[in-house]
Copies of this chain bind each other. A is one copy, B any other.
Amino acid sequence: MASGGNGEELTVRNKQVLAKDYITGNPRESDMYLTTTTTKLKLPAEEEEAAVLVKNLYLSCDPYMRGVKNPEPGRPQFFAPNAPIVGYGVGKVVDSRHPEFKAGDLVWGITSWEEYSVIKRTESLFKIHHTDVPLSYYTGILGMPGLTAYVGLYEICKPKAGEKVFISSAFGAVGQLVGQLAKLMGCYVVGSAGSDDKVEILKNKLGFDEAFNYKSHRDLDAALKRYFPQGIDIYFENVGGKMLDAVLLNMRDHGRIAVCGMISQYDLHESEAVRNLMQLVLKRIRMEGFTVLENYHLYSSFLDTVLPYIRLGKIAYVEHIVQGLDNGPAALVDLFTGLNVGKTLLVVAPHDD
């Protein structure tokens, strides 16, 4: 081996969070386990692929992190038996055989839940050029959730000033930014969330016109009618089920629904019924699913839009920061029970420079 007699010096402990198996429904803590292995801090010389070795600094907990047998080609497999959990994160390059990355570079993209990762899928790895904002933001508002908000709002919904926008799961990693971007465009913005604390922050810190705790409303249709007496032009859909059905009744003509996710449905054996789809015809509504995976080409225009707002203090972002890989499984589980307050991320190692 190239490292020869220095091999021992380059070997370090590598703590990992692994999945026991694929997951049906939401992940539980018992679906994951911790282990410690070792890794060499140099990529093998015979490595043919343009791989990058990364020291993970922050890892992102996201609601799509689940695993199915036979995923579609091209889709990341987040949970697989006895493999480290795969997810988005921020790291520092330790060694690289890829021409675009060099040791010391800060990057964000798809990595694994461990201290050190060899990343071979470099098509979803981005170099971080702007470090005057919190580095952890690249797991959230400046990373995949941020780009998701941008694509869903601008590309799918195409809002106009004065339009009425509703966002479910509005305090999540994506919803926070959707609402603030829509406000900056001159829209009227209402969000729903799962606790009174979140509602307060949406209204008082993030500048939403209104927000409500969906758990306090048995009749979601009536709640929406109160906040949208003239109806909803744009719905940013994160939850599905009953909420979607109530929203459909309150959409306006030519409304648009960006379907980002349906977190309320992931743990159900059978998804909740949606019965009001005839509204799509009556009101000529467009409803469109999207993911960030095929919109990476918009990342630089996204940064051009959002970075100035962050620097000027016109956009805020609330993070739920959990310390240490050991607390990763619990942090991920809390995401599905709504115990997190803001974008959940895991600190793996301090960023030392």
Contacts and interface: CB of A to CB of B under 8 A. Distances in A.
Contacts of A280: 259, 287-289
Contacts of A274: 273-275, 277
A40 interface: no
Contacts of A276: 271
Contacts of A288: 280, 284-288
A73 to B, nearest CB: 10
B281 A262 contact: yes
A281 B289 contact: yes
Interface in A174-203: none
Nearest to A261: B281
Nearest to A71: B282
Given A285-B289, A286-B286, A278 B262 contact: yes
Interface in A221-259: 240, 244, 253, 259
A72 B284 CA distance: 13
Contact of A275 (B253, B261, B273, B282): B273
Nearest to A279: B289
A296 interface: no
A290 interface: yes
Interface in A294-310: 294
Given A260-B281, A271-B275, A286-B287, 9 more contacts: A72-B253, A261-B281, A273-B275, A274-B277, A280-B287, A280-B288, A284-B291, A286-B288, A287-B287
B281 A270 contact: no
Interface residues of A, number: 32
A286 B278 CA distance: 15
A84 to B, nearest CB: 24
23 contacts: A72-B253, A240-B277, A259-B277, A259-B281, A261-B281, A262-B277, A262-B281, A265-B278, A271-B277, A272-B275, A273-B275, A274-B275, A279-B289, A281-B289, A284-B288, A284-B290, A284-B291, A284-B294, A285-B289, A286-B286, A286-B288, A286-B289, A288-B288
Contacts of A261: 281
A272 B279 CA distance: 14
Nearest to A254: B294
Main secondary structure of the interface of A (DSSP, over half): loop
The 8 closest A-B pairs by CB, nearest first: A273-B273, A280-B289, A281-B289, A271-B275, A286-B288, A259-B280, A287-B287, A274-B274
Interface string A83-118: 000000000000000000000000000000000000
A283 interface: yes
A80 to B, nearest CB: 18
A281 to B, nearest CB: 4
A164 to B, nearest CB: 17
Contacts of A278: 240, 262, 265, 271
Interface in A319-334: none
A277 B289 CA distance: 9
Contacts of A291: 281, 284
A72 to B, nearest CB: 8
A265 B273 CA distance: 14
Most buried by B among A272, A276, A277: A277
